[in-house]
Amino acid sequence: MTDGRPGYRGHRPILVFAALAITLVAAACGGDFPQSSLRPQSDVAREIDSLFRGIFWWAMGVLVVVEGALVVAIIRFRERPGAEKPKPVHGNTALEIAWTLAPALILIFIGVPTMITLWRVDRPPPSSDIRVEVIGHQWWWEFNYPDLGVTTANELHVPVGKTVDLRLKSADVVHSFWFPRVAGKRDLVPGTENQLWFTPDSVGVYPGQCAEFCGTSHALMGMLLFVDTPEEFERWAAREASPQESGAEPRPSDDPSVLAGREVFFGAGGCISCHAIRGTPAAGILGPDLTHVGSRSTIAAGVLDNTPDNLVRWINEPHDVKPGNLMLDMGLSDEQARQVSAYLLSLE
């Protein structure tokens, strides 16, 4: 530039930085994020998503107007060599009225939909097809279906298209129940019962998480939501409600490891002091119900896939897998742990 002012080359670093920032922001919006609340799969989640998107576009409108005015002012009224000093202006009634009324109207347009959405999602469910009692423990989830006689852990099964009524409690500290794609967060407070409901509209498996810091292994307090077809849910519920045995005698098994594992589980392993297996002498209440643990896809609240090797690791090294948890290391040999693993995987 002949007048000494910076041209394209002078602005190149700013342009490069802006392009890089836009690229990073765009990249953050891509990919497969299973716990994204931006892909709603229930009525309640869609209400929340709709509210969020409305507020987002109002915020973008404010951003464009304010930043646009700022950029125009910077360019138009910047100091130039030889230019006269700007004349001071005292007040502008129309402008002051406008920038007072505009934010007030925007707050109304945001506040009214917010209050309506809060009322819709916080009211009792319009109907209740499935009732589930959710109890948060450090660091796992207990799910009781009182109308079905089912108790399970860390994996919640519900039928698609049916309204699920959740009653939320805590056994120890404050937790927060959150399946991002089907419902908003809701706290579990000791001594208090909270309520959450939703009607899932798509069959699938959706991960969830405790969203309130609750101790050492808070980040390892995961859970899975299985939205089944009505027929799949009925089969699952019937299987889960059935006891494993009709009495103290073990079921017949062709696998000697299963029978040996049962003996360890009910004897030297000491597992029955904390865990329950319906239809057997095991009636512990401190740990998850293991009646049909072999049919679960994960163990340790979603930390490990439910495989023989991972079960052995969980039995022998519970505090390495999940620091601070209440499961005891019973000092079993590797062979005994594999036998217990075989027995637990047979409980389907």
Rounded to whole angstroms, the Cα distance separating 136 from 170 reads 5
Domains with residue ranges and CATH for the chain:
41-122 (1.10.287.90), 130-241 (2.60.40.420), 256-345 (2.60.40.420)
Rounded to whole angstroms, the Cα distance separating 225 from 236 reads 13
Rounded to whole angstroms, the Cα distance separating 164 from 167 reads 10
| DSSP code for 283 | B
Coil, strand or helix: which one is 14?
Answer: helix
Rounded to whole angstroms, the Cα distance separating 223 from 299 reads 10
Rounded to whole angstroms, the Cα distance separating 258 from 336 reads 11
Specify the DSSP element, H or E, that contains 188: strand 186-188
Other beta carbons less than 10 A from residue 56's beta carbon:
10
Rounded to whole angstroms, the Cα distance separating 325 from 310 reads 17
Specify the DSSP element, H or E, that contains 130: strand 130-137
What is the pLDDT, as a whole number, of residue 1?
46
Return per-residue pLDDT of the chain as tens, 348 residues: 445 555 545 556 667 777 777 777 766 665 667 788 888 889 999 999 999 999 999 999 999 999 998 888 888 888 788 878 877 777 788 888 888 999 999 999 999 999 999 888 888 888 888 999 999 999 999 999 999 999 999 999 999 999 999 999 999 999 999 999 998 899 999 999 999 999 999 999 999 999 999 999 999 999 999 999 999 999 999 999 998 876 555 565 667 888 888 889 888 767 888 899 998 888 888 889 999 999 999 999 999 999 999 999 999 999 999 999 888 888 888 999 999 999 999 998
Distances from the Cα of 26 to the Cαs of 58, 229, 230, 249, 266, in angstroms? 20, 36, 39, 61, 56
Q: Which of 139, 138, 212, 222 is nearest to 175 (CA)?
A: 212
pTM of the predicted structure, to 2 decimals: 0.81
